[in-house]
Amino acid sequence: MHTQSQSNNPASDKSKRSSTTVLRNGWLPYDVDYLSNPSQAECRTLAQAKTPSILNTSFGSLNKISRNKARQAQHTYIITDGDAALWSHKTISRGEAKALIQAQAAYIAEKAQLLEVQAWLGVGPRAEAVQWLYTTEGANIAGMQQVLGFPRERNEADVDGPFNARFRVVYTPDFHPDVAGGQRILVDLDNWVTYIMGPDYFGESKKAALRMLCHYVFQKGGLVLHAGAKEVLLENDRLTATILGLSGTGKTTTTFSKQGEGVRPVQDDMVVLWPRGELSVTENGCFAKTFGLNAKAEPILHAATISEQAWLENAYQDANGQVDFYKVAMSPTEIADLRSILIETGANQANVDAYIAGDVSYEDALDGDGPRDGWDFIQWTGNGRSIVPLSLVPDAANLDDLPEVRSMGVLNRDEGVGAITPGIVQFTSPAQAAGYFMLGETTKTSAAGKDRGKTRSPFTQPFFPAHHGNQATRFAELLATTEQIGCWMMNTGYVGGDHGGEHALKVKIRHSSAMLEALFRGTIVWTIDEDFGYQVVDAKAPENAALIELVGLDILRPDLYYRRTSRLAVYRAEVAQRNADRVRFLRKFHVADEIVNAVVI
């Protein structure tokens, strides 16, 4: 059985209080003790003492099992008394928000101590300073955030002076406000502060600062992209490529996979595009999905994740601390080993005990492909995560000397009977690229819980707080400042069917690497797709023979595959459906006619 530490009042032992209680670094608004910039070792010690549901892995790292298994968009609100139509998030009035913020402040005063993390989003002149404040139950989140943030010494000559943060985050995972759901994330964009109450999922901390950065950068003429980035070294040239993608599409995997020897990872999640192809970075580490992680397919991420320097969140581990990155179905014995933690993180106690006793079988607890309501615990979440420092990534790019962006792609993890997205396509114009980036199409993965199926998210960017139509407008403006950016889309899912289906072809990591290497080297000969107007691999061009051998023509040209397998009617129906759905989606965001007409020919 796993043992768990009990949470104690950190202020109960006066001798352990931090000496940094003076308001010496600007914004310390609560009359409590502050432990500023604790070391990684201190964060781990505090997490083991104060954070519920923390496990020790056989790697020597910590693994937090959280109540929340994903970000809580339904509980996230922009604070405003203005027009709600200006925002992509829900809104809350200033009066309502003030009452909740005051209640959070009263709770913080009762706890009597906060952890303070001072760090930067990015390096160089585009970097922005951020201050995170956590109650001690969030010690694990503080440690994770410290990994991803650039330390003060990376951007400041004087780290003993005042820390003038642009953005601030107040995070109390142990305070549950008296509202529906017991959770709230309140975003004050007038004062650049986000208040997080109730969630215990690290993604809320990370995205709180990045959400504010999205709005700030937009005001400054740039656009934050939910994208990984890699430096590509060619024979006599260097360029930066960005890869947009929703959670689960393979953004991190694609960023850290090799395309020949001339590739260096830059970032795995969020970057900023400025005029003339300038790129700025945000994070000093990686926030990677762990489900399916293995040393053969993803050696860099796997090695980093099993390091003792990593932090894990919602990875399955057995009673001996052995982590299983492929775990789905849970046996009664495995449930018994984790019983206390499962109940602590929200599982129904009566159901847990019935399953352990054998009164309900695994099959009985299923409803179709997934668990019945109240029985989610019988399948381990597929949204396990690792947080690792960039220092564990070999051959990472020099973030102080990045070439301009000249290649931008979006990932579409297609699947299903109508999975007709080619392995890779190239867009013919900035308008067409803006349209497909605005669509942000993919299939929802385990990160979405039971809400599976096809989805669209503008620029794969659910964190952009203003109206999403602004992204397409700004993107077109930025592309107009340079003629050197080539834009593309890659399918990281399936062609022709569902997983395990008769006609399903999996787009594997080695296929993606081969397609991107050919794309970056400019060796692909393209032809126009008659149904969608973008460019696809020309099946007849001898120059494409090597790529077709590595990937397979059926993946590169689904139109020919559906014809070959006598399913042309299915293909045609899917084309018509996608075109109609795409028009409706783009019109909903008031996207310019030029962009709509470039997507649906």
Which pLDDT value is given to residue 10? 33
Instruction: State which residues form the domain around 338.
Output: 311-385
- pLDDT at residue 13 greater than cutoff 70: no
- pLDDT tens, position by position, 186-215: 999 999 999 999 999 999 999 999 999 999
pLDDT band at 260 (very low <50, low <70, confident <90, very high): low
Identify the CA nearest to 202 among candidates 324, 341, 51, 329. 51
**What is the CATH number for 232?**
3.90.228.20
- pLDDT at residue 447 greater than cutoff 60: no
Let me know if residue 2 belongs to a domain.
no
Are 481 and 556 found together in one domain?
A: yes
pTM flag (> 0.75): yes
Let me know if residue 306 belongs to a domain.
no
Are 201 and 239 found together in one domain?
A: no
Q: Report, as an integer, the average pLDDT of 11-39.
A: 62
Are 428 and 541 found together in one domain?
A: yes
Are 37 and 66 found together in one domain?
A: yes
Are 409 and 346 found together in one domain?
A: no
Are 523 and 580 found together in one domain?
A: yes
Q: How far apart are CA 298 and CA 357, in angstroms?
A: 39
Are 262 and 285 found together in one domain?
A: yes
- pLDDT at residue 448 greater than cutoff 80: no
- How many structural domains is the chain composed of? 3
Ranges 141-150, 266-275, 441-450, 571-580: which has the least confidence: 441-450
Are 428 and 556 found together in one domain?
A: yes
Let me know if residue 5 belongs to a domain.
no
Helical residues (DSSP H) of 120-250, grouped into ranges: 139-148, 152-155, 202-219
- pLDDT at residue 394 greater than cutoff 70: yes
Let me know if residue 305 belongs to a domain.
no
Are 190 and 229 found together in one domain?
A: no
- pLDDT tens, position by position, 482-530: 988 999 999 999 999 988 889 999 999 999 999 999 999 999 999 999 9
Let me know if residue 130 belongs to a domain.
yes
- pLDDT at residue 413 greater than cutoff 80: yes
Which secondary-structure segment (H or E) carries 64? Answer: strand 62-64
Which pLDDT value is given to residue 26? 60
The neighbouring-strand residues paired with 128 are 121
Q: How far apart are CA 256 and CA 254, in angstroms?
A: 6
Let me know if residue 299 belongs to a domain.
no
Let me know if residue 7 belongs to a domain.
no
Identify the CA nearest to 231 among candidates 185, 265, 202. 265
Are 236 and 106 found together in one domain?
A: no
Q: Report, as an integer, the average pLDDT of 459-488.
A: 93
DSSP code of 85? G
- pLDDT at residue 17 greater than cutoff 70: no
Residue 409 CB contacts under 8 Å (≥ 6 apart), including other chains? 241, 242, 243, 244, 487, 488, 489, 490
Return the structure tokens found at 515: 């397609």
